[in-house]
Structure 1
Amino acid sequence: MRILEILENEGERQFVHTLCFVGVNGAGRTSFNGTERQLFLLPPGAADRLPDNSSGFVVSAREFSPSGFLSVQECLFRIRLSEDHGLALLHPEKSGFIPLSSACSFLRPFTAGIITVSDKGSRGEREDGSGPALAAEVTALGADVLFTSIVPDDHEVLVPLLKEWSDGKCLDLILCTGGTGFSPRDVTPEALDAVGEKHVPGIGEAMRAASLKITPRAILSRANAVIRGKTLVISLPGSTKAALECFASVAPALRHGIEILCGRDSECGSNPV
């Protein structure tokens, strides 16, 4: 599937672009080439349906779901149905440049939860930076972050929460930040081992390999990953910088792994769309 036209409608005139930049402005609204515009998804032959003072992508698909995500280049858009216009409305989750004829694809959302493991954070003595930062990054992959929590470094607290979110909430992905070091209170990897039914050693290895390029202390990280039922659970370092660096090293493969785990994709060796 490709973008056939990039349109901008100013009311009296409609412009056709070969390149655009789509992002979010300071007010949290969609920005198209620096101007606040609503952005719509249109089927072929529907350019005349583009509302005034808005922009739109005409794509080669004639039918598409009015929910989920659209992936284009480095950009990701959440799709919602516009009740006013009866069209699919796009909101950027990840900004970037989009040229004409770009390949694009529809993505099903997956569900996620973020757990910050910190004694001081759970007592309100430290502001949580890594949790919100990871939530933003996983949302940019096409996730709906349904639950967040800050808990103490306590095995007896973390294990039941992981079981509840995987078994009861049926989340596709759980990210735990904090508790992966050498301190006697660092018990997050052990909590994952206690709930995990399968280990995923490649995720921890990839994170340490990426971090080792930045600091020799990366070998001290005990970050790991396990599968419980149809939920992937990953532990990451507690500092915001380290958590984001580690997550970036494994993020490109996560959606494919989650779709295999959920039974949506069975080809482990297939190339990503």
Structure 2
Amino acid sequence: MTLSGFSQMEEGVFLKPEDDEEECFLRVVRCSPASCEVEVLRSGFLTLSQKLLPLRPLSVGILTISDKGSRGERIDTAGPALEELVLDIGGIVRQRGIVPDERDMIAGTIKQWIDEDDCHLVLTTGGTGLATRDVTPEALLSVASRVVPGIGEAMRALTWQNAPRAILTRGLAVTRGESLIVSFPGSERGARECFGAVAPVLRHAVEILRNWEKDCGSHTHHHSHA
């Protein structure tokens, strides 16, 4: 699909209609001064004069924390689910890993992904319960610059009515430098539900941390050609 009427845009930038959370979602494949070739990530409707909002790609790391998963005794489905879901907020997974429930290994991996690989957003899954081996919150706090309490509170508030035991989970969000780290439950269902509860604010949080707000809000009109 080709969109004309564009100023030059960088390859990899995501495009979505302004004030439209559910419909069309595009990504720039290549661009010339007059038009852009785009990949349709989620289909929808665009009008000829509709404004599109460009979104910088988020560099994402997804870390599964599981003793059994790290030994190959359990198939991880929560991590791949998060990898699928981050696309909707313009995330590209750059790092992916599985580690056991060891505080130092969790913290070391996260520090490497942020300090050396410059991941903008790190999502973890697993280790947020009350069992003795559940140490993910402690690992996140050990590498944190600041705590963002509202994200964990929202995950519990929006999921406990369907799953009352959700109030026992200790998922939380912290920052490290200019990056955001969020911990999700280890089950695929729990990870999906909690991600859905906070997805609308994750990109905005990273944009604030990275001071991207001013250069991410430009708009462009387009004309489309199949």
Q: TM-score range by the shorter chain?
A: 0.7 to 0.9
Contact persistence 1:200–1:224 (CA under 8 A): yes
Contact persistence 1:111–1:144 (CA under 8 A): yes
User: Does residue 60 of structure 2 align to residue 98 of structure 1?
Assistant: no
Contact persistence 1:66–1:88 (CA under 8 A): no
- Alpha-carbon distance between aligned partners in 2 of 1:177 and 1:210, rounded to the nearest angstrom: 18
- Tell me the residue number matched to 1:182: 130
- The alpha carbon displacement at 1:99 in A equals 4.1
- The alpha carbon displacement at 1:156 in A equals 1.7
Q: Residue 9 of structure 2: which of 30, 51, 65 is its match?
A: 65
TM-score computed with the length of structure 2 as normaliser:
0.87
- Alpha-carbon distance between aligned partners in 2 of 1:152 and 1:143, rounded to the nearest angstrom: 25
- Tell me the residue number matched to 2:220: none
- Alpha-carbon distance between aligned partners in 2 of 1:66 and 1:160, rounded to the nearest angstrom: 33
Gaps of 5+ in 2: 218-226
Regions of 4+ moved over 4 Å? none
Q: CA RMSD in A?
A: 1.8
The aligned amino acid for 2:15 is: L
- Tell me the residue number matched to 1:41: 3
- Tell me the residue number matched to 1:241: 189
The aligned runs of 1:199-214 (5 Å cut-off) are 199-214=147-162
Could you report, residue by residue, the CA deviation over 1:130-166 in whole angstroms, capped at 9, with x for unpaired residues?
1111011112211121000011111121111111111
- Alpha-carbon distance between aligned partners in 2 of 1:264 and 1:87, rounded to the nearest angstrom: 24
Query: Matched residue of 2:89: which SS?
Result: coil
- Alpha-carbon distance between aligned partners in 2 of 1:96 and 1:217, rounded to the nearest angstrom: 36
Task: Between the two structures, name the one with larger relative contact order (CA 8 Å, sep ≥ 6).
Answer: 2
Contact persistence 2:9–2:31 (CA under 8 A): no
Structure 1 residues 99 and 168: CA distance shift in structure 2, 3 A: closer
- Tell me the residue number matched to 2:24: 75
Taking only the aligned residue pairs, the percentage that are identical comes to 44
Larger relative strand fraction: 1
Could you report, residue by residue, the CA deviation over 1:205-225 in whole angstroms, capped at 9, with x for unpaired residues?
000011112111111010001
Contact persistence 2:8–2:31 (CA under 8 A): no
Larger relative helix fraction: 2
User: Does residue 104 of structure 2 align to residue 152 of structure 1?
Assistant: no
- The alpha carbon displacement at 1:102 in A equals 3.8
Q: Say which one has the larger Rg.
A: 1
- Alpha-carbon distance between aligned partners in 1 of 2:134 and 2:128, rounded to the nearest angstrom: 6
